[in-house]
C-alpha cells in the first residue's frame, strides 16, 4: 500500500511537465480575469454582505475602491509572472493570497459560487511546489546569471515535480465524485429518471442566457427529447461517480477524463453556464513532457 502511494505521488518526473502546466493554467486564468474590475464591490450595499466562513471568522472587511482596484492589478500581475515563471515562488504565493481575498470577498455578496473553489486549491498547491524549475523565466535567468536565487539549474527528474500534479488530479476527481454521489442520493435516482434535465434545458433556453446564440434552438430540441436528456443525465452521473478510477487505471483515465472535459464544455454551450476555471484545470492531465515537448523540440539542454 505504501509503495503504491509513493509510486503515485513521489515518482520521478520531468520538471518541464509541471512547468508547462503552470504556464498554461495561470495563462488561461489571466485571460479569464483580464479587465475584471474588483473595485465595484466597494459600492455594493452592506445588506448584501454575507461573508463566507473565513471572512466572518477573521472579520475581514471589504476595502475601499482604490485598494480593491490596486489588489486587482496586483493579482493580474502575479498571474502573469506565475504563468511566465518569473519570481515564481513569490508570484504564485501572491496569486493565491490576493486571489483568495478578492474571490472570497466577491463570493461573500448575496450568493456563494463554486466555480472558483478548485482554482484556488490549485493555486495553493502550486505555491508550495517547485513549478518554476522548468519552462520558466527563472530557469533562463538562472542559467544566464548563476547568482539568481530563484529557479533550479538541475535537469534531473525528481518527485518534487510529480506530487503537485498528482495531488491536483486527486482534488479534481474528488470534486466530481462528490457531485456524482450527491445526485445519487436523490430517491429513486430522480436526477436521472425524472424530467429534471429536460426541464433545465428548456428553462435555460427561455431565460436567454446561453453562451452561443448560434445554437439557441439546441436547449429546446434537447428538452423535447426526454429519453435523450435522461441518457445524458445517466452518463453524467456515471462519469462523475467513477472519476476516482482515473487515478488508478490508465485506460479508464483515457475515457473518464476526456468525458468529464466534454461534459463541462457541452453544458457550457447548452445551458449557458460556462466552467472555464474547471476546464483550465484539465491541463494537468496531459503529459506535456511526453507529448508537446518532444514533438515541438523543446529541451532543457
> What's the rounded Cα separation, in Å, for the pair 148 and 225?
62
Exposed, middle or buried: residue 157 (CB in 10 Å: 0-12, 13-18, 19+)? middle
Q: According to the model, what pLDDT value does residue 294 have?
A: 53
Judge whether residue 214 has pLDDT over 50: no
Q: According to the model, what pLDDT value does residue 21 have?
A: 96
Report the share of the chain in percent with pLDDT over 70. Answer: 90
Mean pLDDT along residues 188-204: 84
Higher pLDDT, 286 or 186: 286
Q: According to the model, what pLDDT value does residue 24 have?
A: 97
Q: According to the model, what pLDDT value does residue 154 have?
A: 60
Please tell me the least confidently modeled range out of 33-42, 52-61, 104-113, 234-243. Answer: 104-113
> What's the rounded Cα separation, in Å, for the pair 143 and 151?
9
pLDDT bucket at 301, cuts 50 / 70 / 90 = very low
Judge whether residue 297 has pLDDT over 60: no
pLDDT tens digit string along 231-252? 999 999 999 999 999 999 999 9
Please tell me the least confidently modeled range out of 18-27, 182-191, 225-234. Answer: 182-191
Q: According to the model, what pLDDT value does residue 152 have?
A: 62
pLDDT tens digit string along 1-12? 677 788 899 999
Mean pLDDT along residues 177-192: 87
Mean confidence (pLDDT) of the chain? 88
Mean pLDDT along residues 31-48: 92
Please tell me the least confidently modeled range out of 140-149, 244-253, 260-269. Answer: 140-149
Q: According to the model, what pLDDT value does residue 63 have?
A: 95
Mean pLDDT along residues 71-75: 97
pLDDT bucket at 112, cuts 50 / 70 / 90 = confident
Q: How do the domains of the chain map onto residue ranges? A: 14-161, 170-301
C-alpha closest to that of 282 among 230, 238, 241, 246: 246
> What's the rounded Cα separation, in Å, for the pair 26 and 105?
21
Mean pLDDT along residues 218-230: 88
Judge whether residue 129 has pLDDT over 90: yes
Q: According to the model, what pLDDT value does residue 210 have?
A: 44
Amino acid at each position: 500500500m505504501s509503495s503504491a502511494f509513493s509510486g503515485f505521488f513521489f515518482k520521478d518526473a520531468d520538471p518541464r511537465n509541471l512547468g508547462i502546466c503552470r504556464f498554461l493554467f495561470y495563462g488561461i486564468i489571466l485571460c479569464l480575469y483580464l479587465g475584471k474590475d474588483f473595485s465595484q464591490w466597494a459600492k455594493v450595499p452592506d445588506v448584501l454582505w454575507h461573508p463566507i466562513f473565513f471572512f466572518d471568522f477573521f472579520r475581514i472587511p471589504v476595502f475601499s475602491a482604490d485598494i480593491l482596484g490596486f489588489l486587482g492589478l496586483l493579482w493580474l500581475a502575479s498571474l502573469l509572472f506565475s504563468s511566465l515563471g518569473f519570481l515564481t515562488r513569490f508570484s504564485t504565493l501572491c496569486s493565491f493570497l490576493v486571489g483568495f481575498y478578492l474571490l472570497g470577498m466577491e463570493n461573500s455578496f448575496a450568493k456563494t459560487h463554486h466555480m472558483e473553489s478548485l482554482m484556488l486549491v490549485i493555486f495553493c498547491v502550486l505555491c508550495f511546489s517547485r513549478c518554476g524549475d522548468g519552462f520558466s523565466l527563472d530557469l533562463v535567468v538562472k542559467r544566464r546569471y548563476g547568482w539568481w536565487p530563484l529557479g533550479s539549474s538541475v535537469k534531473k527528474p525528481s518527485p518534487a515535480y510529480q506530487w503537485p500534479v498528482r495531488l491536483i488530479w486527486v482534488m479534481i476527481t474528488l470534486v466530481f465524485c462528490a457531485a456524482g454521489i450527491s445526485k445519487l442520493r436523490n430517491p429513486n435516482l430522480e436526477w436521472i429518471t425524472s424530467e429534471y434535465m429536460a426541464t433545465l434545458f428548456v428553462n435555460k433556453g427561455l431565460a436567454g442566457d446561453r453562451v452561443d446564440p448560434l445554437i439557441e434552438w439546441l436547449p429546446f430540441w434537447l428538452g423535447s427529447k426526454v429519453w435523450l436528456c435522461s441518457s445524458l443525465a445517466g452518463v453524467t452521473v456515471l462519469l462523475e461517480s467513477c472519476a476516482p478510477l482515473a487515478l488508478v487505471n490508465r485506460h479508464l483515465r483515457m475515457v473518464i477524463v476526456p468525458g468529464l472535459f466534454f461534459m463541462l464544455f457541452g453544458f457550457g454551450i447548452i445551458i449557458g453556464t460556462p466552467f472555464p476555471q474547471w476546464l483550465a484545470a484539465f491541463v494537468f492531465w496531459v503529459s506535456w513532457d511526453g507529448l508537446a515537448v518532444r514533438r515541438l523540440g523543446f529541451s532543457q539542454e
